[in-house]
Structure 1
Amino acid sequence: MSKPARIPFPVRIPFVEKLGLELHAFGDGQAELRCDLHEALLNSWEVAHGGVVMTMLDVAMAHAARSGHGGGPATGSGVATIEMKTSFMRPAEGALRAVGKLLHRTATMAFCEASLFDEHGALCAQATGTFKYLRGLPARGRVTSQTPTSDPLPKDTP
């Protein structure tokens, strides 16, 4: 099975860049990330560190939430993880693939799931998560760098 072509992330995430995660699918409420493990991403058992696995699942779900149902970013900003539950099934080794899916969306929230597979296609971890659509960080007014959208979400009301 051939590996889909790498595509640019819709926003710059320095931590994701540092880990070496690559985006291979983004649209219609789905996203796929890939990562070739290297020594810095391993734990003492020489398998993927749980933080790497959880980050891949989190980013896959967040991008699925951002992709909406129409193939483009769902909002004029970004998403923040509200909660996430992860189950680890087996050690993750080699080339990893995380697939995220948007299950349900409201005006301000997204409910997602993601699965992480090893290079043999074995399921290593599964996650569900809830994400909040945001225009920027309230403390400093920061916004993400991304492509504008024609589908802005309404502002939250008190």
Structure 2
Amino acid sequence: MMKLKFPVHIPFVEQLGFELHSMGGGLAELRVDLNEGHLNSWEVAHGGVLMTLLDVAMAHAARSVHMDLPGMGPGVVTIEMKTSFMRPGEGCLRAVGKLLHRSTTMAFTEGSVFGDDGKLCAHATATFKYLKALPGQRRSLKTLQRKEPAP
């Protein structure tokens, strides 16, 4: 399956080696081929890697309904997230995010991470807020770091 460019620059996600494989219609799929830097002391995927994979998959599912808007419309920030871990993540992991419901300001999502064997490793639900800018230190507005459009 061909990987896509992420629509926004997310240095942490790039450092983790996550790949975007599909995005549209309220769905998104990401993958990561685990390496030693992703592992915990049990030599399986660290829970933080799984949670980040879920967070990013669900966020992209929430944003996918705005793909027709300039710059893909507003960005999203995580308001809350609940994660359940079922089994260790090993090898190449696949995360699927799904938008369940949205309003003008909020997105309600769910996500699942599957292992090499196709079995469910982790599941999450999350709520995101759609934002055009994010107030930073001293209340300065931070804009979304968008990728340049492909020629």
TM-score by length of 1: 0.86
Distance (Å, rounded) in 2 between the aligned partners of 1:111 and 1:94: 29
State the SS of the aligned residue for 2:55.
helix
Q: Which runs of 4+ in 1 moved over 2 A?
A: 70-77, 145-148
What's the CA shift for 1:145? 2.7
1:13 to 2:13 alignment: no
**How far has the Cα of 1:146 moved from its partner?**
2.7
2:104 corresponds to: 107
- Aligned counterparts of 2:129 and 2:72: Cα–Cα separation in 1: 11
**Which residue identity lines up with residue 119 of structure 1 in the other structure?**
D
Higher helix share: 2
Distance of 1:59 and 1:142 partners within structure 2: 19
**Structure 1 residue 71, shift from structure 2 partner:** 4.9
* 1:98 maps onto 2:73 in alignment: no
State the alpha-carbon separation in 1 of the partners of residues 117 and 68 from structure 2.
30
Indicate yes or no: 2:64 matched with 1:64: no
Aligned to 2:143: 143
| Selected match of 2:24 from 27, 47, 58 | 27
Aligned residues: CA RMSD: 1.7
For residues 94 and 72 of structure 1, what CA distance do their matches in structure 2 show?
Answer: 35
Verify the 8 A CA contact 1:75 1:133 in the aligned structure 2: no
SS of aligned partner of 1:6: coil
1:36-75 Cα shifts (integer Å, max 9, x gaps): 000010000000000000000000000000001x654695
Are 1:77 and 1:143, in contact at CA under 8 Å, matched by a contact in 2?
Answer: no
Structure 2 CA distance, aligned partners of 1:104 and 1:75? 18
Structure 1 residue 76, shift from structure 2 partner: 2.3
How far the C-alpha of 1:138 sits from its partner, in A, is 1.7
Unaligned runs of 5+ in 1: 149-158
* Structure-2 residue corresponding to 1:52: 49
Q: Is the 8 A contact 1:26 1:71 kept in 2?
A: no
Counterparts of 2:145 and 2:110, CA distance in 1: 25
Q: Secondary structure at the match of 2:134?
A: coil
Q: Distance in 2 between matches of 1:71 and 1:106?
A: 16
Letter in 2 for 1:142: K
Does structure 1 conserve the Cα–Cα contact (< 8 Å) formed by 2:67 and 2:73?
Answer: no
Q: Say whether the 8 Å CA contact 1:77–1:146 is kept in structure 2.
A: no
Shift, 1:120, TM fit: 1.0
Instruction: Provide the C-alpha distance between the structure 2 equivalents of 1:135 and 1:76, rounded to a whole number of angstroms.
Output: 8
Distance 1:141 1:17 in 2: 24
Aligned residue runs from structure 1 range 117-128, under 5 A? 117-128=114-125
